Structure 1
Amino acid sequence: MEKGSKQWRFKERKDLTFASDLTIRGMLKKLNRAIDATDPRPVIQLGHGDPSAFPCFRTSPVAEDAIVDSVRSAKFNGYAPTNGILPARRAIAEYLSSNLPYKLSPDDVNLTSGCKQAIEVVLSVLSHPGANILIPRPGFPSYEALAAFNHLEIRNFSLLPDKDWEIDLDAVEALADENTFAIVIINPGNPCGNVFSYQHLQKVAETARRLGILVIADEVYERIAFGTNPFVPMGTFGSIAPVITVGSISKRWVVPGWRLGWLVITDPNGILKETKIVESIHGCLNICSDPATFIQGAIPKIIEGTKEDFFKNINDILRQDSDICYERLKGIDCLTCPHKPEGSIFAMVKLNVSLLEDIDDDIDFCFKLVKEENVIILPGITVGLKNWLRVTFAVEPSSLDDALGRVESFCQRHAKKQ
């Protein structure tokens, strides 16, 4: 047979190839290829959500020791139950219950390979023909990608920059119909750096109850709050409407590569059990891969042994970074940050391209910025807002100041002449 004469029947799935180009990882991969290797200045990453890249954000020694102890114990070399080992689930239930008006059971907790797998599981379980899901814009693009993969109709509601990025609840009610099954909220906010108030979250729960839908609460940045509003878990309102909370140790312990997440049922009325959603979650986990068992084994020591001083230090650095980011951006004419970040590690910044020469849009801005200044920022279109930028401020404060100085120089160089 001549080479190439066979007619192969497999082919690419073009929707996934196209979608991957618009993911955060896909976009950052392209931006990293545009780095000028001849520039002697260090590359400063303000695009990704991985603070562990910077020395000031190293995880706690307790967490490191717990991993070592877990491996050396030889107790966690085998397979784990599909929903996770009991000591880990118990530790996470107690940890999350400390912020709730009722006590979670270990049976409410399901361990996953990071928060993203928790999202995959819940969207897989809740998908059915004709169903739609309400997703914030701007938001975390994996929700849209995974919803599309599960053939779910996506209906975007807006977050309002002039109202501290609160949810447009009137739009939510207008978007929902009899085929809507859930609303996604991300708190503290990725990409907006906002922290929803108790009152606003209660309104979200009441809206969900009226619509007969559940709330998927993405709290991967839980307790990373350093502004006016304290972090309030959505599960606080689980008696109003059922809540599925997804989270992980990734951000608070600064270990995103450890891939230990959770999917937690916060539903004191038992609605999700009665409707067999809990049973379906367990069924889905039975055919999924698990987080590494030795990391599960370390969880009790990680959670119980990490002192509050560690978390306070992280939040203090992020508060300082937020101040630097917000104040430096004020001095750049073409950029506007409508709300000072009060949580997570991100800020959304509006780009006014009409004030710039030879800059077409946010993607063009970011590619020219990295080529000229060795600074990487994520184009806002990747998270749902064209001509905005998502800036990660979880950086060494001196490096953040340096990076924003380079951004200012870039904007001055490209400013339209008066």
Structure 2
Amino acid sequence: MENGTKKVWHFQAAANGAANGNGNGKARSKAAVATIREVRFALMDNLNKEDQRPLIELGHGDPSSFPCFRTDSAAEDAIVDAVRSGKFNSYGPSAGILPARRAIAGYLNNGLPYELSPEDVFMTLGCAHAIEVTLTTLARPGSNILLPRPGYPYYDACAANRNLEVRHYGLLSDHGWEVDLEAVESLTDHNTAAIVIVNPGNPCGNVYSYEHLKKIAETARKLGILVIADEVYGHLAFGSNPFVAMGVFGSIAPVITLGSISKRWIVPGWRLGWLVISDPNNVLRNSGFVDLIRGSLNTSPDPPTFIQVSDDTLK
């Protein structure tokens, strides 16, 4: 209290949207807690503390917390060798050091009908950072993005924090959680920038077929939008559909591939991911979009260096 009046803190106005009068602040505040973690924490906080029965956490997404899951010794040895070499103690380039980008390009080239180069690869602080950079680059007044429902809620939160309108398309549960392409077409207008697909799916666990991925690319080309392919679970594919990288169809529509080492190598705490341009027709480069990605990374924290290992280790 000051002179009998209640102190007003101006950040409160921004938090509830009063600062700009359009509710964007309120949307950003709501988006900040619209995550699976918040739901999980709420459930944990409301457990009966007197109940002594053992608890199995089905919402735990970090296998490295359990002693039965360890990363390969090759990854640990690479870290030790890099630290002892003294070569990686300085700030690296915003897009990542060349050996890192070269290794990722070689790793992702498997199965592609064209060849990625290190210039197509941008290293990030985990896949979450790759999502942030991509959505920051897409955000402009009035723009919107298509997200799957159900889907990974971090995209919704990032979009809201960038005033990027979200339009949700459905997944067809009776057809292997495939994208409802008719819904996609009905949701799209001249302000739609991209469609996000998560393959293998989170949270549905589906793996899209080659034929369905091609239809997604053809639809994106028809609509004039790019495809953001979240493939962080690419090496956790089970069932009859083998995993196919969306980049295979980069010649049909430009693709931005997001991934990380966290799931395959069981090292989510290492925070190492990538954003890769799969666009052999250079649509994104010619439009200046790649320059925007580079500019966004230049205003972000420097990504960690990538430990150079042999090509055989990554395969």
TM over 0.5: yes
Write out aligned runs for 1:6-405 (5 A): 7-11=8-12, 13-14=15-16, 15=26, 16-293=28-305, 296=306, 298=307, 300-301=308-309, 304-305=312-313
Find the aligned partners of 2:122 and 2:243 in 1 and give their Cα distance.
22
Find the aligned partners of 2:64 and 2:38 in 1 and give their Cα distance.
20
Letter in 2 for 1:268: P
Find the aligned partners of 2:137 and 2:57 in 1 and give their Cα distance.
36
Q: Are the counterparts in 2 of residues 66 and 302 from structure 1 also a CA contact under 8 Å?
A: no
How far residue 127 of structure 1 moved from its aligned partner, in angstroms, is 1.1
Structure 2 gap segments, 5+ residues each? 17-25
Find the aligned partners of 2:293 and 2:186 in 1 and give their Cα distance.
29
Letter in 2 for 1:112: T
Find the aligned partners of 1:150 and 1:275 in 2 and give their Cα distance.
21
Aligned to 1:316: none
Instruction: Tell me: CA distance 1:303–1:38, structure 2 relative to 1, closer, same or farther (3 Å).
Output: farther
How far residue 275 of structure 1 moved from its aligned partner, in angstroms, is 0.3
Q: Are the counterparts in 2 of residues 28 and 48 from structure 1 also a CA contact under 8 Å?
A: no
Instruction: Tell me: CA distance 1:35–1:70, structure 2 relative to 1, closer, same or farther (3 Å).
Output: farther
Find the aligned partners of 2:167 and 2:122 in 1 and give their Cα distance.
27
Q: Deviations over 1:286-310 (max 9, x none)?
A: 00012333xx1x2x3286426x7xx
Letter in 1 for 2:73: P
Secondary structure of the corresponding residue to residue 11 of structure 2? coil
Q: Deviations over 1:147-204 (max 9, x none)?
A: 1111111111000110010000011111111111100000000010000000000000
Q: Are the counterparts in 2 of residues 115 and 260 from structure 1 also a CA contact under 8 Å?
A: yes
Q: Are the counterparts in 2 of residues 111 and 290 from structure 1 also a CA contact under 8 Å?
A: no
Letter in 2 for 1:249: I
**What RMSD, in angstroms, separates the aligned Cα atoms of the two structures?**
1.9
How far residue 273 of structure 1 moved from its aligned partner, in angstroms, is 0.2
Find the aligned partners of 1:265 and 1:279 in 2 and give their Cα distance.
12
How far residue 215 of structure 1 moved from its aligned partner, in angstroms, is 0.3
Instruction: Tell me: CA distance 1:2–1:255, structure 2 relative to 1, closer, same or farther (3 Å).
Output: same
Q: Deviations over 1:62-93 (max 9, x none)?
A: 11121122112111111000000000110000
Instruction: Tell me: CA distance 1:218–1:2, structure 2 relative to 1, closer, same or farther (3 Å).
Output: same
Structure 1 gap segments, 5+ residues each? 309-418
Identity %: 61
Task: Give the structure-1-normalised TM-score.
Answer: 0.69
How far residue 119 of structure 1 moved from its aligned partner, in angstroms, is 0.7
Q: Are the counterparts in 2 of residues 217 and 243 from structure 1 also a CA contact under 8 Å?
A: yes
Letter in 2 for 1:121: V
Find the aligned partners of 1:39 and 1:302 in 2 and give their Cα distance.
51
Aligned to 2:23: none
Letter in 2 for 1:301: V
Q: Deviations over 1:16-55 (max 9, x none)?
A: 4432332112222222223444443432111132222233
Moved more, 95-104 or 164-173: 95-104
Moved more, 49-58 or 223-232: 49-58
How far residue 207 of structure 1 moved from its aligned partner, in angstroms, is 0.2
Q: Deviation above 3 Å: which 4+ runs of structure 1?
A: 1-8, 35-42
Q: Are the counterparts in 2 of residues 136 and 157 from structure 1 also a CA contact under 8 Å?
A: yes
Find the aligned partners of 2:205 and 2:269 in 1 and give their Cα distance.
22
How far residue 143 of structure 1 moved from its aligned partner, in angstroms, is 0.8
- Select the structure that is richer in helix: 1
Find the aligned partners of 1:304 and 1:113 in 2 and give their Cα distance.
24
Aligned residues: 303
